[in-house]
Amino acid sequence: MTLTAATEDDAVIEAIAAGATGYLQKYSGKEELLLAVSDVADGEYRVPADAMRRLFAEIRSSTQREKASRPGRLTAREREILTLFSQGLSYSKIADARGNQPVTIRNAIYGIQDKLGIETKQELVVWAVGNGLLGG
Protein backbone atom coordinates (compact mmCIF):
# COMPACT_ATOMS: atom_id res chain seq x y z
CA MET A 1 0.00 0.00 0.00
CA THR A 2 1.20 3.49 -0.79
CA LEU A 3 0.63 6.30 1.67
CA THR A 4 1.36 9.71 0.24
CA ALA A 5 0.56 13.39 0.33
CA ALA A 6 0.69 13.52 -3.47
CA THR A 7 -2.61 14.03 -5.25
CA GLU A 8 -1.37 14.40 -8.81
CA ASP A 9 -2.77 11.93 -11.33
CA ASP A 10 0.74 10.84 -12.28
CA ALA A 11 1.58 9.88 -8.69
CA VAL A 12 -1.46 7.61 -8.42
CA ILE A 13 -0.83 6.04 -11.82
CA GLU A 14 2.87 5.52 -11.09
CA ALA A 15 2.12 3.94 -7.72
CA ILE A 16 -0.37 1.49 -9.24
CA ALA A 17 1.95 0.76 -12.18
CA ALA A 18 4.71 0.01 -9.66
CA GLY A 19 2.50 -2.61 -8.02
CA ALA A 20 0.63 -0.73 -5.31
CA THR A 21 -2.62 -2.46 -4.36
CA GLY A 22 -3.88 0.37 -2.22
CA TYR A 23 -3.59 4.11 -2.30
CA LEU A 24 -4.41 6.48 0.55
CA GLN A 25 -3.52 10.06 1.21
CA LYS A 26 -1.80 11.10 4.43
CA TYR A 27 -4.87 12.92 5.70
CA SER A 28 -6.86 9.65 5.74
CA GLY A 29 -8.36 8.87 9.12
CA LYS A 30 -7.36 6.02 11.42
CA GLU A 31 -10.45 3.91 10.57
CA GLU A 32 -9.94 4.40 6.84
CA LEU A 33 -6.29 3.38 7.16
CA LEU A 34 -7.09 0.25 9.18
CA LEU A 35 -9.88 -0.76 6.80
CA ALA A 36 -7.64 -0.23 3.78
CA VAL A 37 -4.81 -2.30 5.29
CA SER A 38 -7.29 -5.06 6.13
CA ASP A 39 -8.80 -5.01 2.60
CA VAL A 40 -5.38 -5.13 0.94
CA ALA A 41 -4.28 -7.94 3.27
CA ASP A 42 -7.37 -9.87 2.14
CA GLY A 43 -6.31 -9.46 -1.50
CA GLU A 44 -8.56 -6.52 -2.35
CA TYR A 45 -7.51 -3.37 -4.16
CA ARG A 46 -8.12 -0.14 -2.29
CA VAL A 47 -7.95 2.98 -4.42
CA PRO A 48 -10.21 6.03 -4.03
CA ALA A 49 -12.95 6.31 -6.67
CA ASP A 50 -11.68 9.64 -8.03
CA ALA A 51 -8.21 8.17 -8.47
CA MET A 52 -9.69 5.16 -10.27
CA ARG A 53 -11.67 7.43 -12.61
CA ARG A 54 -8.48 9.32 -13.46
CA LEU A 55 -6.58 6.06 -13.92
CA PHE A 56 -9.20 4.61 -16.26
CA ALA A 57 -9.37 7.85 -18.24
CA GLU A 58 -5.59 7.81 -18.63
CA ILE A 59 -5.63 4.17 -19.76
CA ARG A 60 -8.37 4.91 -22.33
CA SER A 61 -6.55 7.97 -23.59
CA SER A 62 -3.24 6.15 -23.78
CA THR A 63 -4.81 3.19 -25.60
CA GLN A 64 -6.50 5.44 -28.14
CA ARG A 65 -3.27 7.38 -28.74
CA GLU A 66 -1.42 4.10 -29.24
CA LYS A 67 -4.06 2.74 -31.62
CA ALA A 68 -4.17 5.93 -33.66
CA SER A 69 -0.39 6.13 -33.96
CA ARG A 70 0.07 2.66 -35.45
CA PRO A 71 -1.00 2.63 -39.12
CA GLY A 72 0.87 -0.64 -39.58
CA ARG A 73 -1.81 -2.36 -37.50
CA LEU A 74 -4.15 -2.34 -40.49
CA THR A 75 -4.04 -5.37 -42.73
CA ALA A 76 -3.47 -4.96 -46.47
CA ARG A 77 -7.20 -5.65 -46.99
CA GLU A 78 -8.16 -2.98 -44.43
CA ARG A 79 -5.77 -0.45 -45.99
CA GLU A 80 -7.24 -1.13 -49.44
CA ILE A 81 -10.83 -0.76 -48.24
CA LEU A 82 -10.00 2.39 -46.29
CA THR A 83 -8.19 3.88 -49.28
CA LEU A 84 -11.17 3.25 -51.57
CA PHE A 85 -13.59 4.57 -48.94
CA SER A 86 -11.45 7.69 -48.44
CA GLN A 87 -11.52 8.30 -52.20
CA GLY A 88 -15.29 8.69 -51.87
CA LEU A 89 -16.42 5.29 -53.17
CA SER A 90 -19.66 3.92 -51.73
CA TYR A 91 -19.87 0.61 -49.92
CA SER A 92 -21.50 -0.84 -53.05
CA LYS A 93 -18.72 0.34 -55.38
CA ILE A 94 -16.01 -0.91 -53.05
CA ALA A 95 -17.85 -4.24 -52.75
CA ASP A 96 -18.11 -4.55 -56.56
CA ALA A 97 -14.41 -3.77 -56.96
CA ARG A 98 -13.45 -6.39 -54.36
CA GLY A 99 -16.09 -9.02 -55.10
CA ASN A 100 -17.76 -8.58 -51.71
CA GLN A 101 -21.19 -7.65 -50.45
CA PRO A 102 -21.78 -4.04 -49.36
CA VAL A 103 -22.53 -5.21 -45.80
CA THR A 104 -19.07 -6.81 -45.69
CA ILE A 105 -17.48 -3.49 -46.60
CA ARG A 106 -19.61 -1.59 -44.09
CA ASN A 107 -18.57 -4.02 -41.36
CA ALA A 108 -14.92 -3.71 -42.40
CA ILE A 109 -15.14 0.10 -42.12
CA TYR A 110 -16.65 -0.22 -38.63
CA GLY A 111 -13.88 -2.66 -37.71
CA ILE A 112 -11.21 -0.25 -38.95
CA GLN A 113 -12.76 2.58 -36.93
CA ASP A 114 -12.76 0.40 -33.83
CA LYS A 115 -9.19 -0.76 -34.38
CA LEU A 116 -7.97 2.82 -34.74
CA GLY A 117 -10.15 4.24 -31.96
CA ILE A 118 -11.88 6.61 -34.39
CA GLU A 119 -15.54 7.51 -33.94
CA THR A 120 -16.67 9.18 -37.17
CA LYS A 121 -16.26 8.51 -40.88
CA GLN A 122 -14.89 12.03 -41.34
CA GLU A 123 -12.16 11.39 -38.77
CA LEU A 124 -11.41 8.11 -40.53
CA VAL A 125 -10.83 9.89 -43.84
CA VAL A 126 -8.64 12.49 -42.10
CA TRP A 127 -6.65 9.64 -40.54
CA ALA A 128 -6.25 7.96 -43.94
CA VAL A 129 -4.97 11.19 -45.50
CA GLY A 130 -2.66 11.87 -42.57
CA ASN A 131 -1.20 8.38 -42.78
CA GLY A 132 -0.49 8.50 -46.50
CA LEU A 133 -3.22 6.20 -47.77
CA LEU A 134 -4.23 8.75 -50.41
CA GLY A 135 -0.74 9.65 -51.49
CA GLY A 136 -0.49 12.86 -49.51
Q: Which domain holds residue 114?
A: 72-130
| Statement to judge: residues 11 and 62 lie in one domain | yes
User: Which is more confident, 134 or 65?
Assistant: 134
- 60 in the same domain as 110: no
pLDDT of residue 25: 74
136 assigned to some structural domain: no
118 within domain boundaries: yes
Q: Cα(92)–Cα(56) distance, rounded to whole angstroms?
A: 39
* pTM for the model: 0.49
> By the 8 A CB rule, do 106 and 112 touch?
no
Number of domains into which the chain is organized: 2
21-25, 95-99, 130-134: least confidently modelled range: 21-25
The DSSP result for the chain, as a single string, is: -EEES---HHHHHHHHHTT-SBEEETT--HHHHHHHHHHHHTT--B--HHHHHHHHHHHHHHHHHHHHT-GGGS-HHHHHHHHHHHTT--HHHHHHHHT--HHHHHHHHHHHHHHHT--SHHHHHHHHHHTTTT--
**Same-domain pairing of 56 and 86:** no
Tens digit of pLDDT for each residue in 17-74? 777 777 777 778 888 888 888 888 888 878 777 777 777 777 777 666 665 555 568 9
User: Do 63 and 6 share a structural domain?
Assistant: yes
Residue 37: the pLDDT is 87
Q: Is the pLDDT of residue 81 over 60?
A: yes
Angle between helix axes 121-130 and 102-116 (nearest 10 degrees) is: 70
